[in-house]
C-alpha cells in the first residue's frame, strides 16, 4: 500500500501539529511546508518592473470602476426614457434626445474609458512578462555557461535547451 508523505498533503491550520507529531513518530521530516516556488525569488525577478506593475494595477482599477458604474448609468438612461413618455406612450425624438443626451454620453465615456484602461493593463502586463522572461533566460544562460566541462559531457544539449524553455515557461505562468 502506498502511503503519501505528509508534506504532499494540503494542510489545514488545525492539523499541522498532528502531522508534525505523526511525522516525528514515523521518523520522517517534521516539515509541513508544501513544495512551492520561493516568493522572494519570484519577487526578485520583478526587480525594475514596479513602475510598470503600478501602471497595470491602475489600469485594472480604472477599468473596474468604469465597469461597475456602467449598470447604474444604463439604468438612469432607461429611467429617463420610460419617464419621458406621455400617457399614450408616445414621445417626440427631440424631447427624448434633450433629456437623455448627457446620460448617453456618460455611458459612452465609461465604455471608452474602461476599454482604454483594459488595453493599458493588458499591454503593460505583457511587457512585464516578456521582460521578466528575458531577464530569467539571461540569468539561466549565464549560470549554464559557467558550469565546468564535465557538466556538458554528462548533460545532453537538447535536454538543457528543453529544460531551460520549460522552466522559464513555468515561472512565467505563475
Q: What is the pLDDT of residues 18-40, one digit of tens each?
A: 445 555 555 554 444 434 566 77
The total domain count for the chain is 2
Residues 71, 136 share a domain = yes
Residues 19, 64 share a domain = no
Residues 136, 53 share a domain = yes
Residues 68, 45 share a domain = yes
Of 4-13, 56-65, 82-91, least confident by mean pLDDT is 4-13
Residues 104, 72 share a domain = yes
Top pLDDT among 88 and 80 is at: 80
Residues 29, 55 share a domain = no
Residues of the domain holding 71: 36-173
- Under 8 Å between Cβ of 73 and 103: yes
Kindly state the cell numbers that stand for 89: 406612450
Residues 79, 142 share a domain = yes
Residues 141, 111 share a domain = yes
Residues 168, 124 share a domain = yes
Residues 89, 10 share a domain = no
Residues 65, 143 share a domain = yes
- pLDDT value, residue 31: 45
Amino acid at each position: 500500500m502506498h502511503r503519501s508523505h505528509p508534506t504532499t498533503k494540503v494542510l489545514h491550520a488545525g492539523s499541522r501539529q498532528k502531522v508534525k507529531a505523526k511525522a516525528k513518530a514515523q521518523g520522517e521530516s517534521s516539515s509541513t511546508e508544501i513544495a512551492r516556488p520561493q516568493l522572494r525569488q519570484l519577487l526578485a525577478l520583478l526587480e525594475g518592473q514596479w513602475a510598470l506593475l503600478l501602471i497595470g494595477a491602475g489600469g485594472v482599477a480604472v477599468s473596474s470602476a468604469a465597469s461597475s458604474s456602467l449598470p447604474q448609468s444604463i439604468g438612469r438612461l432607461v429611467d429617463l426614457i420610460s419617464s419621458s413618455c406621455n400617457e399614450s406612450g408616445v414621445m417626440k425624438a427631440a424631447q427624448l434626445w434633450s433629456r437623455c443626451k448627457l446620460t448617453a454620453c456618460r455611458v459612452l465615456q465609461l465604455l471608452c474609458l474602461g476599454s482604454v484602461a483594459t488595453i493599458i493593463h493588458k499591454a503593460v502586463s505583457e511587457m512585464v512578462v516578456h521582460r521578466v522572461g528575458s531577464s530569467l533566460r539571461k540569468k539561466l544562460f549565464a549560470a549554464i555557461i559557467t558550469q565546468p566541462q564535465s557538466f556538458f559531457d554528462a548533460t545532453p544539449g537538447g535536454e538543457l535547451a528543453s529544460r531551460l524553455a520549460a522552466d522559464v515557461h513555468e515561472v512565467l505562468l505563475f
